[in-house]
Amino acid sequence: MFQPSRNSRILQFSSLSFDASVFEIALAIASGGTLYIPPKSAQLPGMALVKFLQDHAITHALLTPSVLAVLPSAELPDLQVLITGGEACSSQVVDRWAANRHFFNAYGPTETTIWATVARLHPGDRPSRSVAPFLILRCIFWMLP
């Protein structure tokens, strides 16, 4: 789905207290790619983060919608896969960031370990704000003695 490879350059932006950080680490390990940990100065949404993404030719990143909403506009030609999650994603974020890359909106309560649903979005798509009915209608419950 996220097409990682040994040539992938994966951003480790999530705090280790955020369960999504496990995904960033696992993606790098499983693909043989390289995990890039930004310096403290690039751990906030701003030009330092943009410069880090550019300088290290980051190909995969997981950033919250609030980070994407305030991140300065810049050319990021190497950023092939962008995943957002952790909070509701607006249509403005989708329209701005989904062009010319694989853009995914992920949702999941902490209890599901990282996320329960992932949807690929394109410019013009409207992210679903409520996935609970979808999950309940599609769940199969297994009970073990």
Per-residue pLDDT in tens (0 to 9) along the chain, 145 residues: 888 899 999 999 988 888 788 889 999 999 999 999 999 999 999 999 999 999 999 999 999 999 999 999 899 999 999 999 888 899 999 999 999 999 999 887 767 667 778 889 999 988 865 444 444 444 555 555 5
- The CA distance from 58 to 67, in Å, is 16
Q: Choose which CATH entry (3.10.129.10, 3.40.50.620, 3.30.2000.10, 3.40.50.980) describes domain 9-138.
A: 3.40.50.980
* Domain assignments of the chain as residue spans, ordered by start: 9-138
pLDDT at 86: 84
pLDDT at 71: 96
pLDDT at 131: 47
Residues 6+ apart with CB under 8 A from 102: 2, 3, 80, 81, 82, 120
- The CA distance from 36 to 109, in Å, is 26
pLDDT at 119: 87
Q: What is the pTM of this model?
A: 0.84
Buried b (16+ CB within 10 A) or exposed e, 128-141: eeebeeeeeeeeee
If phi > 0 it is left, if psi is from -120 to 50 it is alpha, else beta; for residue 17 that is alpha
